[in-house]
């Protein structure tokens, strides 16, 4: 078992290890003053793990209720969010009670946003069940839902009271879902950990999920502690995301988040190589690493469509976009890019 402590506007532990689903009751008892815990989950995860989590909570004397919504990014929307708030009101949840986010990034983002806004804020615990949610989405307090205009456009910075990264649900993940998390792991390497990249080139990530997860979370902790509200260094975590979000939107959210990030992670450095900002040898090595983890390195979307969808990115300030650009193997920087230069950059990234 490994613990990483995050010291942001809330201080909390991220615990990584096996057997943690059975300990959620104890964690909730330490985090919630009240005696009701509402579990939020989706139709993929609830049939596997909800009962075990509910039993753990009941074992600590909690009244347990649960809200289960259809799985998929397309349900991380205003309608599911309002249904969840109405459910919490019907269950008479108070500020002393708390929410348990049991699932992947969609569940965590939605639950966190409900926790941030219901009664102007109630406590919540993250229980990620995918690699992607464990290494990224569950830590750092970004909560959100999607709007028709783009991904994560309504949300709040709201830290959880605790994060339990239970490794047991990661082993049976479908290969595609596991690959989504690998994209985020490779992202941490490209931001600033060449050693992690070198390791990923030789080991299978499934061989050491605890070590790799803890290493990624420690990187995220460092950036969140420097810049909780995402005005500077934390934006490095968006490597591959700015154009990746554009690719996700182009697909109507049918491309998974990890695959979209992988597309963004190769498209941006291709543009950077063409602009002389990144040595050319980084690119084939990165493409090979992504391919090793069954991730795409190209897209058929037209440059104009990607550009259009990328414009709604939250990191745009007026006419400037903060693009995360790799400048070496295991090193990336924030590169302010005038919006007028984005389309040519995407075109170069697509090899046009
Ligand atoms: N997922 C990026 C961040 O938390 O800042």
Q: Which residue has the higher pLDDT, 70 or 320?
A: 70
Largest CA distance in the chain: 62
Give the per-residue pLDDT at 315: 67
DSSP, collapsed to helix, strand or coil, labels residue 279 as coil
Give the per-residue pLDDT at 189: 98
151 in Cβ contact with 249 (< 8 Å): yes
Query: What is the rounded average pLDDT of the residues 210-222?
Result: 97
Q: Rounded to an integer, what distance in angstroms lies between the CA atom of residue 352 and that of residue 347? A: 5
Q: Rounded to an integer, what distance in angstroms lies between the CA atom of residue 70 and that of residue 323? A: 33
Ligand 1 pocket residue status of 237, Cβ below 6 Å = yes
Give the per-residue pLDDT at 112: 98
Ligand 1 pocket residue status of 314, Cβ below 6 Å = no
Q: Which residues pair with 320 in a beta bridge?
A: 317, 338
Ligand 1 pocket residue status of 259, Cβ below 6 Å = no
Strands 36-42 and 98-103: what pairing?
parallel
Q: Which two tokens stand for residue 189?
A: 């390497």
DSSP, collapsed to helix, strand or coil, labels residue 178 as helix
The answer to pTM > 0.85 is: yes
Res. 274 pLDDT band, cuts 50 70 90: confident
209 in Cβ contact with 266 (< 8 Å): no
Instruction: Decide if pLDDT at 287 tops 80.
Output: yes
Ligand 1 pocket residue status of 313, Cβ below 6 Å = no
- Nearest ligand 1 atom to alpha carbon 137: 1
Ligand 1 pocket residue status of 240, Cβ below 6 Å = no
Q: Where are the alpha helices (DSSP H) in the chain?
A: 24-31, 46-59, 78-90, 105-117, 131-132, 175-192, 194-202, 209-226, 241-250, 257-274, 282-292, 303-310, 342-349
Q: Which two tokens stand for residue 317?
A: 């300030």
Give the per-residue pLDDT at 313: 67
- Cα-to-centroid distance, 190 and ligand 1 (Å): 15
Give the per-residue pLDDT at 314: 66
Q: What is the pLDDT of residues 296-350, one digit of tens each?
A: 999 999 999 999 988 876 667 778 888 999 999 999 999 999 999 999 999 999 9
Edge-to-edge strands, sheet with 331-338: 316-317, 320-328, 331-338
Number of Cβ within 10 Å of residue 270's Cβ equals 22
């Amino acid at each position: 078992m490994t613990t990483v402590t995050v010291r942001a506007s809330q201080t909390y532990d991220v615990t990584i290890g096996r057997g943690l689903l059975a300990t959620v009751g104890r964690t909730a008892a330490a985090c919630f003053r009240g005696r009701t815990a509402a579990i939020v989950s989706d139709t993929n995860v609830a049939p596997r793990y909800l009962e075990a989590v509910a039993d753990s909570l009941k074992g600590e004397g909690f009244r347990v209720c649960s809200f289960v919504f259809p799985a998929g990014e397309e349900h991380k929307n205003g309608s599911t969010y309002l249904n969840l708030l109405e459910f919490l009101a019907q269950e008479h949840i108070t500020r002393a009670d708390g929410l348990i986010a049991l699932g992947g990034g969609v569940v965590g983002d939605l639950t966190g946003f409900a926790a941030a806004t219901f009664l102007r804020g109630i406590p919540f615990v993250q229980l990620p069940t995918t690699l992607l949610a464990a290494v990224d989405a569950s830590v750092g307090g970004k909560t959100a839902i999607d709007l028709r205009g783009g991904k994560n456009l309504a949300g709040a910075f709201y830290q959880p009271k605790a994060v339990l990264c239970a490794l047991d649900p990661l082993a049976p993940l479908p290969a595609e879902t596991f690959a989504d998390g690998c994209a985020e792991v490779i992202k941490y390497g490209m931001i600033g950990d060449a050693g992690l990249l070198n390791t990923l080139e030789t080991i299978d990530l499934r061989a050491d999920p605890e070590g790799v997860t803890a290493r990624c979370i420690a990187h995220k902790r460092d950036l969140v502690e420097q810049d909780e509200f995402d005005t500077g260094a934390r934006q490095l975590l968006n490597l591959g995301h700015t154009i990746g979000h554009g690719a996700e939107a182009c697909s109507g959210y049918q491309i998974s988040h990890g695959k979209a990030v992988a597309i963004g992670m190769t498209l941006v450095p291709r543009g950077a190589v063409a602009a002389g900002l990144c040595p050319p040898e980084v690119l084939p090595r990165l493409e090979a690493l992504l391919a090793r983890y069954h991730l795409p390195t190209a897209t058929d979307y037209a440059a104009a469509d990607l550009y259009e969808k990328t414009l709604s990115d939250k990191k745009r300030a007026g006419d400037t976009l903060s693009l995360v650009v790799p400048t070496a193997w295991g090193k990336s920087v924030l590169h302010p890019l005038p919006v007028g230069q984005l389309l040519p950059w995407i075109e170069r990234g697509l090899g046009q």
